[in-house]
Amino acid sequence: MQSSAVINEAVQTLRDGGLVAFPTETVYGLGADAKNPEAIKQIFIAKGRPSNHPLIVHLAAPDKFDQTQIDWVALLAPWVRDLSEEALKLINAFWPGPLTLVFKKGKSVLNELTGGQDTVAIRAPSHPIAQELLRKFKGGVVAPSANRFGKVSPTSAADVRHEFEGMLDLMVLDGGDCEVGIESTIIDLSSGDKAILLRPGSITPSEIFAKTGVKVYQPGEVKSGNEVTVDLPRVSGSLKAHYAPTTPLRLYAPGRVLDALSEFPDIKSRVAVAVWDSESSLVLDDHPSTDVEEVIVSSDPTTFASRLYRSLRDLDQQGWDLILFPEPPAGEEWDGVRDRLQRACFGSGPSSSNHDNN
Ligand code: TXA
Ligand code: MG
């Protein structure tokens, strides 16, 4: 954990227009003052991210025990044009926590952070260091995941340092390993009547419905006028290639690991195969041509998510020729990790920087 003195220094760095990487419960963020256009520009440069990809504004949750007493309306007034009943239900149920909400933006919200859109994404992270930083800073902090564009998000301070090594002399607050392990769920409330899921995460539509009675629609389910909306706001996580390791990564269907291996018949290749902890060993000895090693992964979706990026980063460092992961089972509780794994596969491989992720 980080001392108050170090957090005070981070606050000063943000006030001076600098960047600070900090832990959240989901992944580490690369933070800058949301009111400082120059600082925001530095984030896009550091990440190598296109300037029309909007950032999430992180806000402090007031330090009160009784959540229902928190005046979110006043806190959000500078950022959000109007706050619906539904929005307040979601906020009261899930903030601080891994839920990002997209609203119509308030007038003073900088175009630099919204990528020129008339909406703004906001969340209150629950990690105690993030909260202390935000409370002391007394303002909004924009923070994308602290990785280079298209790469695997960092879930430890060492990951962040590794990501920007030799490029950027970055202050990194160390809050240990991130608990959730994949980025926040994003819900779009900006169209007025319907809540739409833009990015699946650990908080699922069923959990939202159970706790608030608010129905969350999948993007394909919502019609605008007579047409199905296909023109979603720009979400860089919605690009096919994202969260990608440099080693080729593929998924295998249940029981089909040998098929996946035979599609990659290089006799000299070294393959890491992730295997559910609930399954007995895969009997890979049958496959003579490759050097195969099993890596056990959790069959519990929450635990799997918390370790996914850690495993991908570690495996990527170990010099395998191929990484195989099991296809996550059907079911909403797996949507977040399925989404990240599919994108990671698509963008993986040594040429990942050449894929359509810019
Ligand atoms: O868990 C998280 O959300 C992490 C931690 C650091 O808070 N942050 C994060 O930021 O994942 P980033 O920039 O890597 O991803 C934010 C996503 C992007 O896909 C972005 O396009 C989307 O949020 N986004 C931001 N503002 C938006 C808006 N106004 N409308 C739609 N999508 C938006
Ligand atoms: Mg990201």
pLDDT for 66-105, tens place per residue?
A: 555 678 888 999 999 989 999 999 999 999 999 999 999 9
Residues with a beta carbon under 5 angstroms from ion ligand 2: 145
Q: Which ligand is nearest to the CA of 29?
A: 1
Residue 170 has pLDDT above 60, yes or no: yes
For residue 201, the ligand closest to its alpha carbon is 1
Helices (H), the chain: 4-15, 37-47, 72-76, 85-94, 111-114, 128-137, 157-164, 205-212, 257-262, 301-317, 335-347
Task: Tell me the torsion sign for CA atoms 336, 338, 339, 343.
Answer: positive
Kindly tell me the burial class for residue 294, based on how many C-beta atoms sit within 10 Å of its own C-beta (0-12, 13-18, 19 or more). middle
13 lines ligand 1 (CB under 6 A): no
Residue 298, classified by CB atoms within 10 Å of its CB into exposed (0-12), middle (13-18) or buried (19+), is middle
Ligand 2 center to residue 349 CA distance, Å? 19
The pair of three-digit structure tokens given for residue 64, joined into one six-digit string: 């009160």
Structure tokens at 110: 């900088």
Amino acid at 21: A
Nearest ligand for residue 56 CA: 1
- The closest of 102, 78, 96 to 134, measured between CA atoms, is 96
Question: Can you tell me the mean pLDDT for 45-49?
Answer: 95
201 touches ligand 1 (CB under 6 Å): no
Q: What is the pLDDT of residue 230?
A: 42
Q: What share of the chain has pLDDT > 70, as a percent?
A: 86
Residues with Cβ within 8 Å of 81's Cβ and at least 6 positions away in sequence, in order, are 103, 104, 105, 106, 107
State how far the Cα of 136 lies from the Cα of 7, in Å rounded to an integer. 8
Give me the pLDDT at residue 159, please. 98
Mean pLDDT, rounded, for 260-280: 83
For residue 262, what pLDDT is reported? 80
DSSP code, position 324 = E
Distance in angstroms (rounded) separating the CA atoms of residues 353 and 244:
9
CA 55 to centroid of ligand 1, rounded, Å: 5
If one residue of 24, 100, 109, 141 were mutated to test the ligand 1 pocket, choosing by the most ligand atoms within 8 A of its CB, it would be 100
pLDDT of amino acid 233:
46
Distance 56 CA to ligand 1 centre (A): 5
What is the rounded CA–CA span in Å between residue 55 and residue 141? 10
Which residue, 122, 124, 175, 167, is CA-closest to 149? 167
State mean pLDDT over 196-223. Answer: 94
Report the nearest-CA residue for atom 22 of ligand 1.
235
Question: What mean pLDDT do residues 293-322 have?
Answer: 95
Instruction: Summarize pLDDT for 211-235 with one digit per residue, the tens.
Output: 999 999 998 887 654 444 444 445 5
Ligand 1 neighbour 104 (Cβ under 6 A):
no
Residue 237 pLDDT level (bands cut at 50, 70, 90): low
Q: Residue of the nearest CA to atom 20 in ligand 1?
A: 235
Residue 242 burial (10 A CB sphere; 0-12, 13-18, 19+):
buried
Sign of torsion over alpha carbons 94, 95, 97, 102: positive
The radius of gyration of the chain from alpha carbons, rounded to an integer in Å, stands at 21
For the stretch 276-304, pLDDT in tens is 998 876 656 666 667 888 999 999 999 99
CA 32 – ligand 1 centroid, Å = 14
The per-residue pLDDT of the chain, averaged, comes to 89
| Nearest ligand by distance to the CA of 25 | 1
pLDDT digits (tens, 9 = 90+) for 9-42: 999 999 999 999 999 999 999 999 999 999 999 9
Give per-residue pLDDT as tens, 123-166: 999 999 999 999 999 999 999 999 999 899 999 999 999 999 98
Please answer whether residues 195 and 203 qualify as being in contact, where contact means their C-beta atoms are separated by less than 8 angstroms: no
Q: How far is the CA of 249 from the centre of ligand 1 (A)?
A: 24
Distance CA 251, CA 169 (A): 37
Cis preceding linkage at 329, omega within 30: no
Q: Is 154 in the pocket of ligand 1 (CB under 6 A)?
A: no
Please report which confidence band the pLDDT of residue 196 belongs to, taking 50, 70 and 90 as the band edges. Answer: very high
Ligand 1, residue 119: give the atom nearest the CA: 29
Calculate what percentage of the chain has a pLDDT beyond 90. Answer: 71
Report whether residue 184 contacts ligand 1, using a CB cutoff of 6 Å.
yes
Q: Identify the burial level of 171 via C-beta atoms within 10 angstroms of its C-beta, where 0-12 means exposed, 13-18 middle and 19 or more buried.
A: middle
Look at strands 119-123 and 20-22 and give their pairing.
unpaired
Dihedral sign, Cα of residue 214, residue 102, residue 25, residue 318: positive
Query: Ligand 2 centroid to 284 CA: how many Å?
Result: 35
- Contact present, 201 and 98 (Cβ < 8 Å): yes
From the CB of 34, is ligand 1 less than 6 Å away? no
Question: 210: CA distance to ligand 2 center in Å?
Answer: 28
Which tokens sit at 332?
């909403």
pTM of the model: 0.93
Looking at the predicted structure, is the pLDDT value of residue 356 above 60? no
